[in-house]
Amino acid sequence: MAEHGDNSGLVRVLGRLDVIAIAFGAMIGFGWIVLTGGFLEDAGSGGAALAFVLGGIVVGLVGLTYAELVSAMPSAGGEHNYTLRALGSRPAFVTSWTLVLGYVSVVAFEAVALPQTLLYLAPDLPAGKLWSIAGYDVYATWAAVGVVGAIIVTTLNYVGIRPAAVFQTIAVLFLLVVGVLLTTGAVIGGSGENLEPLFSGGVSGVLLVLVATPFLFVGFDVIPQSAGEINLPPRRIGRLLVISVGLAVAWYVMIMLTVGSGLVSGKRTESELPTAEAMSALWNSSTMGTVLVVGGIAGILTSWNGFLLGASRLVYAMASSGMLPRWFARIHPRFGTPANAVLFIGGLSILAPLFGRQMLVWLVDAGSLSIILAYLMVALSFLVLRRREPEMARPFRLRYGRIVGTLAVLLSFGTGVLFLPGMPAELIWPAEWFIVGAWWLAGVVLVLRLPRIRPGADAEQRLIRATRAKGPARNTG
């Protein structure tokens, strides 16, 4: 029988396979199909694989801090809960608001990626030109595919987490079959000569790929967001989080090496979908390329589904504690989902296809920076709680926790610096800075209205009381 979670109205129905499918599926979206050619061109096949190993180390260290925290505080909201308890209300808002942008960027990315992928199967899809943005034409039929996809995924999440989890598991299983076929093709038909150059672009090339990895690896933290609906012992939740990160690292390294072995350097950059072209070349069959594209669509849907789930739970948690309007905290009486939060995130994804293909690049960069900043704040919260609350129950407790936490802070900070002006991965002006700036302008308005609540185990209860009190917000200790 399902158990009720810590958050009122949410029900614990997710098991072990559900958790792995949600996290892994969220991390394996569409980037491995459409972005691989650029990664291989920037860093070479060996350099790109190395960048994903390094990115996996950074995310893995952060993931270890998450694993301990989620086992200690297994309720919906994840990062929101950790930073509120460790750092207080306003740092918690900064972390949560930043992460919502990161999640929304992934959800919107998939809404654009879906029609872009279908071009491989239906080259005549574009019809009814609407307008041009950043040099790319936006067509009515192309945008309609993304909009319809957004409506379907939003509806799936609206009617319950169990249908969403079942869908996620089926799609992930198909995705794994495609991965096995691609690996087998590389063993049978791959060429070591195609892997050359192993490294290109030097350190800068590796860094260019490295800065994209936060966007591609993000997804394990959907587990903390949905913790209020997981029916497992807290210690096991932490372990599954770490396992999901390891699986994603293995997947992306496999993609870099198999695609590198299947296509020579020139063809990688010429192709719209180099991973599909590599699959066709490895098996000497265009049908296999089509199978991989279908797998790519499965990846789009799993990532889309996972992040809509995670983003809506984070918005719900913020609203439940008074950081956002209570409207976002409404639980559907029949389906047991944060219905209004789901509709809000889904509505944003419906708009994304109207901005065209270039939105893919903008969302990767803006989303990566946002995600890295959230990781930094969680690692800081981990260290603070280790020092301030050493006796807090931690079913999954890290060995050498202070060392791991410090490394997670330093590596997150170093990766974030790479997005600043003058650095290898600086945000594109004006589009990407506009996305980040507009989001933060709204955040500043909201955070200035938020009471200052000092950290502590009861910080959320004090924040709720303060935000519901009549009259101007006062400093509450």
For residue range 25-35, list pLDDT tens digits in order: 888 876 787 78
Mean pLDDT of all residues in 92-102: 89
Assess if residue 320 is contained within a domain: yes
What pLDDT shows up at residue 12?
A: 67
Share of the chain above pLDDT 70, in %: 94
Please report the DSSP string for 295-350 in residue order.
HHHHHHHHHHHHHHHHHHHHHHHHHHTTSS-GGGGPPPTTT-S-HHHHHHHHHHHH
Backbone angles phi, psi at 250, to 5 degrees: -60, -40
Out of 66-80, 187-201, 215-229, 252-266, pick the least confident.
Answer: 215-229
In the structure, what pLDDT confidence band is assigned to residue 11 with cuts at 50, 70 and 90?
low
What's the rounded Cα separation, in Å, for the pair 107 and 310? 10
Residue with tokens 């200690």: 72
Best CA proximity match to 439, nearest among 17, 105, 156, 194: 105
What's the rounded Cα separation, in Å, for the pair 368 and 187? 33
In the structure, what pLDDT confidence band is assigned to residue 108 with cuts at 50, 70 and 90?
confident
**Do 416 and 99 meet the contact criterion of CB atoms below 8 Å apart?**
no
Query: What region does 322 belong to: left with phi over 0, alpha with psi -120 to 50, or beta?
Result: left
DSSP state, residue 330: P
Taking 70 as the threshold, does the pLDDT of residue 57 lie above it? yes
Q: Does the CA dihedral 399-402-404-408 come out positive or negative?
A: positive
Assess if residue 477 is contained within a domain: no
Print the domain residue range for 248. 3-468
What pLDDT shows up at residue 474?
A: 41
What pLDDT shows up at residue 386?
A: 94
**Do 455 and 85 meet the contact criterion of CB atoms below 8 Å apart?**
yes
Residue with tokens 């809509």: 308
DSSP state, residue 60: H
Backbone angles phi, psi at 338, to 5 degrees: -75, 80
Best CA proximity match to 376, nearest among 405, 418, 344, 336: 405
Backbone angles phi, psi at 460, to 5 degrees: -65, -40
Assess if residue 69 is contained within a domain: yes
Determine if the pTM surpasses 0.85: no
What pLDDT shows up at residue 5?
A: 43
Neighbours of 348 (CB within 10 A): 17
Copy the structure tokens of residue 421.
Answer: 């002006």
Assess if residue 473 is contained within a domain: no
Mean pLDDT of all residues in 401-422: 86
Assess if residue 147 is contained within a domain: yes
In the structure, what pLDDT confidence band is assigned to residue 435 with cuts at 50, 70 and 90?
confident
In the structure, what pLDDT confidence band is assigned to residue 249 with cuts at 50, 70 and 90?
very high
Mean pLDDT of all residues in 146-173: 84
Taking 70 as the threshold, does the pLDDT of residue 425 lie above it? no
Number of folded domains that form the chain: 1
Mean pLDDT of all residues in 419-430: 75
Assess if residue 474 is contained within a domain: no
Mean pLDDT of all residues in 83-97: 92
What pLDDT shows up at residue 9?
A: 56
Task: Tell me the average pLDDT of the chain.
Answer: 84
**Do 267 and 44 meet the contact criterion of CB atoms below 8 Å apart?**
no
Taking 70 as the threshold, does the pLDDT of residue 56 lie above it? yes
Q: Is 138 helix (H, G, I), strand (E, B) or coil?
A: strand
Taking 70 as the threshold, does the pLDDT of residue 424 lie above it? no
Q: Between 180 and 266, whose confidence is greater?
A: 180
Out of 265-274, 285-294, 363-372, pick the least confident.
Answer: 265-274
What's the rounded Cα separation, in Å, for the pair 311 and 99? 8
Assess if residue 164 is contained within a domain: yes
What pLDDT shows up at residue 191?
A: 85
Assess if residue 475 is contained within a domain: no
Tens of pLDDT, residues 254-281: 999 999 998 887 777 677 778 888 999 9
Mean pLDDT of all residues in 70-75: 83
In single-letter form, the type of residue at position 215 comes to F
- Domain containing 302 — which CATH number? 1.20.1740.10
